[in-house]
Structure 1
Amino acid sequence: MLFNSSLFLFVFLPIVLGLFYWLLWRNSFRLAIAALTACSLFFYGFWNPAYLPLLLISIVCNYAIGRSLYLQPSRILLSLGIAFNLSLIAYFKYAHFMVSIANEVTGNSWVMHQILLPLGISFFTFQQITWLVDVNKGGSERPRFIDYVLFVSFFPQLIAGPIVHHQEMMPQFKRLQSQNDTLGTSGASGQPGIFSANFIAGNISVGLTILCIGLFKKVIIADSLALYASPIFQAAELGITLTSYEAWLGALAYSLQLYFDFSGYSDMAIGIARLFGITLPMNFNSPYKSRSIIEFWRRWHMTLSRFLRDYLYIPLGGSRTGSSQRYRNLAITMVLGGLWHGAGWTFVVWGALHGTFLIINQCWRARTNDKDERHMASTLGRRLCGHLTKLAAQALTLICIVCAWVVFRAVDIDAAIAQLASMAGLNGIALPVQLASLLQGNPWLISFADISFGKLFVNELIPPLTAISWIAGSVCIVLFMPNTQQIMHRFTPVLEPVSPASGISRHIQWSPSWPWFLVIQLMSLYTLLHLSRVSEFLYFQF
């Protein structure tokens, strides 16, 4: 049951939301929590009932370990709990990969039976590891079992995050109970209490707005860009030599598809949770506006970055050790972060690439501190130079990100290398015939750059000018428009403080007004007309 399916939007979500608020209105908070928990488990089991027992076993075991840690902290028990969680991921996600490596090393031909990968196992496992560590440190209260089950299985963030901490979620449910106890009272006559209409209306209006924006990103933008990205990567997989134009078109289309797919899912998760009065942490903050790889990882999949920093990088020693060890810690963290996304050498190399980028970024920052930058600015005395420097930094960062995404998306290393070679122009610079007229007046440029014109091998599937239009429009949205949290910042869309956008885009701020109502309704209507092409979120694969 996908968030962008009619079954979820028009059947499951209205029923669960109506049941939840009806029970609150009846002054039955515990029943409301129990119902929400049961519906979340149903949501998970709907994909495949075989997934559900594993989730329940993981929850029961982690709760039992966490309860023991709450009574008596123990490094040994904590290590066993972490090992239990990692063993689940190792078996279901990496067993085939490890067997293939063993076959390559030993020359054997061991065959392993097909293993069904449980949905969201990386997310709910990491979430429970954070709870065990926090409990052992004394930083988390012992919850009731039903509350813990809801913490792990809360359906808006169960499948693909964000990875939340226990202390971020459960206090909100307690405040919700306090709100219900204060505003909803049941008299001796047994009449139902009155739950705050303003509270419900506020959450539903804000939640639906964020949900609709995320749905538009996924269905209209991300799924449209997939039409241009997928054929080109599939061609590279088949060994077809790509032209430079085709290679760059595929790389840019996939980079933008992944951006809007993940951004759309994050918005939908935040919006759906808000419908129930729950605010999730920010998970996506305009990462392609970053001017460095360090900044990119502070903006992209923020809760995963937080987990890797707090539970891997810092325990390894973080930046407290010498430079060489700090760079080693960075490399290890990013390689494991890449491997977290999938069992394959492409993910390992992608993580290693970002680890290398981060090390270079750290070295650069160490050599050019703020004092040097201020001196340079005062010496040059020109704002233009500062703006050009920022643009160059942003462009370089984007190029590194896009090239790394090629490795991330490719079926294997050979296909990635072939596509990157085409992007570098090693197979010649070729443009589609539709663009020939734009350069006909400058034959010197065509000759000097060795530009040829020819039809795309996927010409019928990818009209060049249409693809360029989609990519150009998406780039404008990514770089110049405020993100959803900035648009909604006056209504506390996420747990973290959100600064409004700067420049002209700062005027794009949502309010409960008729103009915004019409805009959201038109976006929703256009999106619903395209729900027939339902596709899975990319991050469901990880």
Structure 2
Amino acid sequence: MSILVNYFIGTELNMKANNVIRRKVLLIFGVLFNLGALGYFKYYDFFIENINYIFKTNFNLLHIMLPLGISFFTFQQLSYVVDSYHRKNLNYDFLSYCLFVTFFPQLIAGPIVLPAEMLPQFESEKNKKVNWENMNRGLYMFSIGLAKKVIIADTIAHFANAGFDMMASLNFVEAWLTSVSYTLQLYFDFSGYCDMAMGIGMMFNIILPINFNSPYKSTNIQEFWRKWHITLGRFMTNYLYIPLGGNRKGELKTLRNLFIVFLASGIWHGAGWNFVIWGMLHGICILIHRIWKNTERKLPKLIGWFITINLVNIFWVFFRAENLQSAVKVLKGMVDISSLIYMMTHLEKIKEMTLDYRTFASGNMGTITNIIVLITSMLIAFFFKNSFENNKNIFSQYIEWKIAFLFSLSILLFNNISVFLYFNF
């Protein structure tokens, strides 16, 4: 139904509707239809829960199952409707449009693609023939993403899961291990999915947009958002920030528009107050950064990076926590200096103090192995080239060995069943 309604609206806007009022009616209907469907399936229960809490009512929750990929295909179809309204010549056949919405590599967790960059690729006759160079590049990109997910993300997940889900309280070391592990897990898990999506797309001669560009190397919060989930930022800029006025209506309204964008980004990620808080915190930091930048003062890059990565790490706690109580538990441990002082003055009791956490975090490979993977992941995220940069120069005599090595190592860890984190959103 979503595909049929949006294709009909887009076709009308692209071919037939010249009346200004009719075009606006079609646009408004398309926007309301898409946001209404997303709101009903994703936020209905959250809205009713809060109504019941505030007004002491007892409305029933529907416990609605989310349609597969609705957060992503809703945004993609919104872009189709809006771009058709702006006459961007998106007059493509129905089968190509169906493929644009349901293209399986990136359907469930992105990157978020735009019709103008995808529809021409689907209709190109050149792309319907096997290209062995793209096959090679795609397989290499896929193997990197698979290794990121299976070898790194799923291994360090044990530390994050232990702290967030299994411990009633955390000391200073446990809390920081928990938060840093999730910060790295999320990056390798999500960027791993996107690498795999780009790799599969490349095998079909379809080029998907880059979604990550070493975000944890950023020296300020604005740079972080230019490098993290790039296609979400692009969508929010084109279809929310600019329509609100962007930076064209004075500094105060620019700050307002920026805050709305990050609040909307938080809400889009999930139906919970923790996501609202996460979005608001990033919005506040973006405003502070913009005000600071307008003063033309600069921080040394190392200090800027240290502040940025710590803020991002702390904010991810709200993103990961099942509820606010869980977030407070981790944050409380992160500032519990007294437990750190006690551990430093009672070294003989460290094992005793961390026994439960080490038990929960050991996983199948043991705590020491997991710590080695955690340290390795930090080095990769902070100092190494990312997969997109590596893919530019893959043609060497060792490419087959690289693919074989990454695949083999990943397959050895296939006994662990896990899903991609962004399947939740």
Question: Which TM-score band applies after superposition, normalised by the shorter structure?
Answer: over 0.9
Aligned to 2:159: 228
Among 94, 98, 102, the residue aligned to 1:145 = 94
**What is the correspondence of 1:182-193 to structure 2 with a 5 Å cutoff?**
none
Separation (CA, whole Å) in 1 of partners of 2:163 and 2:250: 44
Instruction: Kindly indicate whether the alpha-carbon contact (under 8 Å) linking 1:258 and 1:538 is maintained by their aligned counterparts in 2.
Output: yes
In the alignment, the residues of structure 2 paired with residue 323 and residue 483 of structure 1 have an alpha-carbon distance, to the nearest angstrom, of: 35
The match for 2:55 among 106, 114, 118 is: 106
Once the two structures are TM-superposed, the CA of residue 432 in structure 1 deviates from its matched residue by 6.8
Q: TM-score, normalised by structure 2?
A: 0.93
| Equivalent pair of 1:430/1:452 in contact (CA under 8 Å) | no
**1:492 alignment counterpart:** none
**Equivalence map 1:200-239=2 (5 Å):** 200-235=131-166
Give CA deviations for 1:135-175 in whole Å, capped at 9, x if unaligned: 11011321111111011111111111111111101222333
**What amino acid sits opposite 1:307 in the alignment?**
F
Is the 1:245–1:430 contact (alpha carbons within 8 Å) kept by the matching residues of 2?
Answer: no
2-structure distance, mates of 1:461, 1:416: 19
Counterpart-to-counterpart distance in 1, 2:424 and 2:160: 17
Q: For residue 9 of structure 2, what is the amino acid of its counterpart? A: I
1:461 alignment counterpart:
360
Find the partner of 1:312 among 234, 237, 240: 240
TM-score normalised per structure 1: 0.73
Name the residue aligned to 1:416.
Answer: 327
Q: Does 1:525 align with 2:408?
A: yes
- 2:84 corresponding residue in structure 1: 135
Change (3 A) 1:217 1:202: same
1:193-247 Cα shifts (integer Å, max 9, x gaps): xx5xxx52111111101000100000110000111110110135xxx22101111
- Aligned with residue 116 of structure 1, among 41, 58, 65: 65
CA 1:118–1:432 in 2, change beyond 3 Å: closer, same or farther?
farther
Look up the SS of the partner of 1:460 in the other structure: helix
- Alpha-carbon contact 2:137-2:394 (below 8 Å) kept: no
Partners of 1:297 and 1:394 lie apart in 2 by 13
Which residue does 1:394 correspond to in 2? Answer: 305
Determine the structure 2 residue equivalent to 1:486.
389
2:109 alignment partner in structure 1? 160
Deviations 1:375-396 (A, max 9, x none): xxxxxxxxxxx8xx21111111
Q: Give yes or no for contact 1:131–1:166 (8 Å, CA) kept in 2.
A: yes
1:519 and 1:368 map into 2 onto residues whose CA distance is: 46
Equivalent of 1:72, from 17, 37, 40? 17
Aligned amino acid, residue 321 of structure 2: A
> What letter corresponds to residue 179 of structure 2 in structure 1?
A
Structure 2 unaligned blocks of 5 or more? none
Q: How does 1:272-421 map to 2 (within 5 A)?
A: 272-368=200-296, 389-421=300-332
CA contact (8 A) 2:245 2:254 kept: yes
Range with bigger deviation, 359-368 or 324-333: 324-333
Ranked by relative contact order (alpha carbons within 8 Å, sequence separation 6 or more), the top structure is 2
Q: Distance in 2 between the 1:431 and 1:148 partners?
A: 62
Q: CA deviation at 1:452?
A: 11
Aligned mates of 1:179, 1:59 — CA distance in 2 = 24
Render the CA deviation track for 1:448-469: whole Å, top value 9, x for unaligned: xxx9972343232335654443
Query: Structure 2 vs 1, CA of residues 69 and 431 (structure 1 numbering), >3 Å: closer, same or farther?
Result: farther
Identity score, percent: 42
Q: Check the 8 A contact 2:6/2:81 in 1, yes or no.
A: yes
The answer to whether the 8 A contact 1:140-1:166 is kept is: no
Alignment check: 8 A CA contact 1:338 1:349 kept: yes
Alignment CA distance shift 1:462-1:452 (3 Å): closer
C-alpha distance in structure 1 between counterparts of 2:278 and 2:66, whole Å: 22
* Cα distance in structure 2, aligned partners of 1:142 and 1:201: 31
- Counterpart amino acid of residue 390 in structure 1: K
Alignment partners' CA distance in 1, 2:126 and 2:370: 52
Deviation at 1:480, TM superposition (A): 0.9
Could you list the per-position Cα deviations for residues 18-57 of structure 1 after superposition, in whole angstroms to 9, with x for gaps in the alignment?
xxxxxxxxxxxxxxxxxxxxxxxxxxxxxxxxxxxxxxx1
Contact 1:266–1:283 under 8 Å retained in 2: yes
Q: 1 CA distance for matches of 2:351 and 2:389?
A: 44
CA distance in 1, matches of 2:233, 2:127: 33
Give the drift of 1:426. Answer: 5.6
- Name 1:12's counterpart in structure 2: none
Paired residues for 1:438-457 under 5 Å = 454-457=353-356
Q: Encode CA deviations 1:65-116: one digit per residue, 9 max, x unaligned.
A: 1111112251121011010000111110000000011112211021122211
Q: Name which of structure 1's ranges 468-477 and 121-130 shifts more when overlaid on structure 2.
A: 468-477
Distance 1:430 1:514 in 2: 53
Q: Distance in 2 between matches of 1:249 and 1:272?
A: 34
Q: 2:399, 2:11 → 1: CA distance?
A: 48
One-letter identity of the residue aligned with 1:241: S
Alpha-carbon distance in structure 1 between the residues aligned to 2:342 and 2:106 = 43
SS where residue 219 of structure 1 aligns?
Answer: helix
Per the alignment, in what secondary structure is the counterpart of residue 393 of structure 1? helix
Instruction: Tell me the distance in 2 between the aligned counterparts of 1:414 and 1:368.
Output: 40
In 1, the alpha carbon distance for the partners of 2:127 and 2:157 equals 44
1:84 aligns with 2:33: yes
**Superposition deviation, residue 534 in structure 1:** 2.9
Q: Contact 1:102 / 1:108 at 8 angstroms: preserved in 2?
A: yes
1:324 Cα shift?
Answer: 2.0
Distance 1:362 1:214, change over 3 A: same
Answering whether residue 61 of structure 2 is matched by residue 61 of structure 1, we say no
SS of 1:478's equivalent in the other structure is: helix
Aligned counterpart, 1:503: none
The more displaced of 413-422 and 125-134 is 413-422
CA gap of 1:356–1:179, structure 2 versus 1, over 3 A, is: closer
Offset at residue 316 of structure 1 (A): 1.2
**CA–CA distance in 1 between the matches of 2:195 and 2:108?**
14
Distance change in 2, residues 1:118/1:402 (3 Å): same
Q: CA deviation at 1:320?
A: 1.4
Q: Size of the alignment, in residue pairs? A: 416
